[in-house]
Amino acid sequence: MKITLKLFATFRNGRFKVAEQELPEGTDVRQVVLGLGLTEEEIGIVMLNGRHGELDSTLSHGDTLSLFPLVGGG
Amino acid sequence: MDKIFRVNMTDLTTKIEEVPAAWAGLGGRGLTSTIVAAEVPPTCHALSADNKLVFAPGLLTGTPAANSGRLSAGAKSPLTGGIKESNAGGTAAQMLAKLGIKALIIEGAPKTGAWYNLAVGVNGVTISEEKELLGLGNFAVIDAVEARLGKKTGVLTIGPAGELKMTAANISVKDPDSKIRSHGRGGLGAVMGSKQIKFISIDGEGAPGVKIADPEKFKGAAKVFAKALLDHPVSGEGLPTYGTNVLVNILNEAGGLPTKNFTVGQFEGHDKISGETMHDTIAARGGKVKHGCHAGCIIQCSQVYNDKDGKYVTSGFEYETIWGLGADCCIDNLDDIARADNLMDDIGIDSIETAVMFGVAMEAGILNWGDSKEMLRLLTEEIAKGTALGRVLGGGAGSVGRTYGVTRVPVVKNQGIPAYDPRSVKGIGITYATSTMGADHTSGYTIATNILNVGGYVDPLKKDGQVELSRNLQIATAAVDSTGMCIFVAFPALDIPECLPALIDMINARFGIALTGDDVTNLGKHILKLERDFNQKAGLTSVHDRLPDFFKTEPVAPHNAVWDFTDAEIDEFWNF
């Protein structure tokens, strides 16, 4: 299956902004995170198709997954 | 001992008063709101002699506590018709606190057309007639006051917008680099203009400084507090690196980035105006990625943004401004937005109200969507010059909507709604609706928990838990706004258990008292109720605690969310 993976803030350093990824069926968010060389602790916000997701969320073909470190503003 | 400095602009007299016992434990917002509620008739015209403009540093301002240098300004707001507190960084708060000034109260209004400046020093306030600096922008005022009185002088000033009593006018505060921070919201610049005061200078010479009752205890607590600020990923790393503008991409992903005057929740040009792009642009042009708005700030969310030639354009370049002129006006040119930010500082007009206003003005057909050049022209040629059109624009979003017959006008209590769509981030909608300040994201920043996973998580698209979340945050914020602390201390305070107790310990050590966590919560509740009571007497009741109708009837993409709280559900907020 194919997903769109978007990275933000410091996660872009040495990586990319956005990329199409070919993944085996049943891949979850955690596997993608670890595959990027990130740890679970570094993940602040997971968004799956514009809604909050979990590390355990299973991905489907056509999903957009966005990963943010813990950041904030106001 | 701290004193109250009182200035009467009707008879041009000044007094130094003892602090009444009831005010002794108050500072910042708690004090400005208490004074306004006690001394301003709620039904008065906000630009009349009956209104009072009150400045108060926070309870911890002037101490070595990290991030404690915020100044509260309060009055009846000419924009909302209700009570207003707006706080800002800069150098003034710490100077006033070190001079032992608990509050500066400005009342009355001159009987003639003459304008004045106030000089605040250790011996009191001097009122002098001002002619030379009238009509000038804020940057020129700061330069001229420094040339007149010395580089170290603190300055509170209004630009042309305040002189013209526009309801979006702000009060500018000199920052440590002689640039500008703002008491932005609610038109307090017009109140200062109605008192015919162009600027207030502050001379710190001979200031006794802030006395701390238990210095050892204070030192220990201050260390724990500072460590919490640095340890939390938001205040310790995210904010210093990207500033508040990191939120553009997050809100865009969440579908909560109000775009094209709140008709869509995502902006095609988001990447060009994002915090990530801004960070890289600032670094490449030799600007400053991090920068503090006051001495002792260790978060450093501000920055200095330069143009292509490495020349200063603006600082304190915030998410709300960039969102408003960017996504909400469909402008994807960050340089033009930065130029506008600088112009708004100079003219002395609130960058949130004005950004929301431009979205409504585009909807009204005054200028085209995305036309940043015309926006810059309207700022310099119409608003700054006070033409008839400029005065309509300078009245804010509600003013333009009324004048041009626009029905999609994002305001609550006539104050422009900031950078988070209340349909897709519902907690902030409760804050906009119920805040005593009119639509104000900072008064109960549910984005922390709705979007950023700080202080837990409450699903932004569901109604469950939003009223309670907003209530708890508004209570806590009212208390924090009384300490002189930057609101961003809330991020570590929500997640790191030692943070809030350390803050309370600092207050206790400063005054030699023994407040508990409950006392602080009760202070927050008391302030909110006091402010609401003023508003009710001024004619703002629960029917004003509502969002505009279009949020109920127009679903916003991508989630097709609508505002679906009933009136009774909103009113539940005040059950405490």
**CA atoms of B62 and B6, how far apart (whole Å):** 21
- B253 contacts A70? CB cut-off 8 A: no
The interface predicted TM-score of the complex, written ipTM, equals: 0.97
pLDDT one-digit tens code per residue, B236-251: 999 999 999 999 999 9
Residues of chain A with Cβ-Cβ distance to B559 below 8 Å are 50-51
Q: What three-state secondary structure class fits B173?
A: strand
pLDDT one-digit tens code per residue, B441-462: 999 999 999 999 999 999 999 9
**Per-residue pLDDT, B313:** 97
CA angle, residues A39, A41, A46, in degrees to nearest 5 = 90
Mean pLDDT of B347-376: 98
The CATH fold of domain B240-421: 1.10.569
| In chain B, ranges of CATH 1.10.599.10 domains | 422-495+515-576
Residues of chain A with Cβ-Cβ distance to B457 below 8 Å are 52
**CA atoms of B86 and B550, how far apart (whole Å):** 28
What percent of chain B clears pLDDT 90, i.e. is strictly above it? 99
**Per-residue pLDDT, A73:** 78
**CA atoms of A51 and A66, how far apart (whole Å):** 10
B484 phi-psi bin (left φ>0, alpha ψ -120 to 50, beta other): left
Of A6, A12, A72, the CB nearest to B454: A72
The nearest CA of chain B is from the CA of A9 a distance in Å of: 6
pLDDT one-digit tens code per residue, B157-200: 999 999 999 999 999 999 999 999 999 999 999 999 999 999 99
pLDDT one-digit tens code per residue, B201-239: 999 999 999 999 999 999 999 999 999 999 999 999 999
- When the pLDDT of each residue in chain B is averaged and rounded to a whole number, the result is 97
**Per-residue pLDDT, B1:** 72
| In chain B, ranges of CATH 1.10.569.10 domains | 240-421
Residue A71 has pLDDT above 90, yes or no: no
Question: Cα–Cα distances in Å, from A3 out to A22, B266, B471?
Answer: 7, 20, 39
Give, in words, the CATH class of B3-202. alpha beta
Mean pLDDT of B277-295: 95
Mean pLDDT of B416-436: 98
**CA atoms of A52 and A41, how far apart (whole Å):** 17
For chain A, give every domain's residue range.
2-68
Residues of chain B with Cβ-Cβ distance to A52 below 8 Å are 453, 457, 459-460
Of A6, A52, A70, the CB nearest to B238: A70
Q: Which of the residues B251, B264, B276 would you substitute to probe the A interface, choosing the one with the greatest number of A C-beta atoms within 10 Å?
A: B276
Name the residue among B95, B111, B107, B160 with its Cα closest to residue B380.
B160
Are the beta carbons of B59 and B27 closer than 8 angstroms?
Answer: yes
Strand partners, B181: B173
- Out of 3.30.930.10, 3.30.1490.20, 2.60.40.1220, 1.10.599.10, the CATH code matching B422-495+515-576 is 1.10.599.10
What letter represents residue B444's amino acid?
A: G
Structural tokens at position A34: 């670890």
Mean pLDDT of B265-273: 98
- B250 contacts A8? CB cut-off 8 A: yes
Mean pLDDT of B29-38: 98
Residue B336 has pLDDT above 90, yes or no: yes
pLDDT one-digit tens code per residue, B483-509: 999 999 999 999 999 999 999 999 999
End-to-end CA distance of chain A: 37
Question: Cα–Cα distances in Å, from B185 out to B22, B339, B427, B434, B506?
Answer: 28, 20, 21, 16, 29
Give, in words, the CATH class of A2-68. alpha beta
Mean pLDDT of B308-313: 96
List CB contacts of B276: < 8 A, sequence separation 6 or more.
Answer: A8, A9, A12, B242, B246, B249
Cβ neighbours, 10 Å, residue B269: 18
- A51 contacts B453? CB cut-off 8 A: no
Ramachandran angles phi, psi of A33, nearest 5°: -60, -50
| B272 contact A CB<8A | no
CA angle, residues B290, B291, B295, in degrees to nearest 5 = 145
Residue numbers of A between 32 and 71 with CB closer than 8 Å to B:
44-45, 47, 50-52, 66, 68-71
The nearest CA of chain A is from the CA of B253 a distance in Å of: 5
**Per-residue pLDDT, B372:** 98
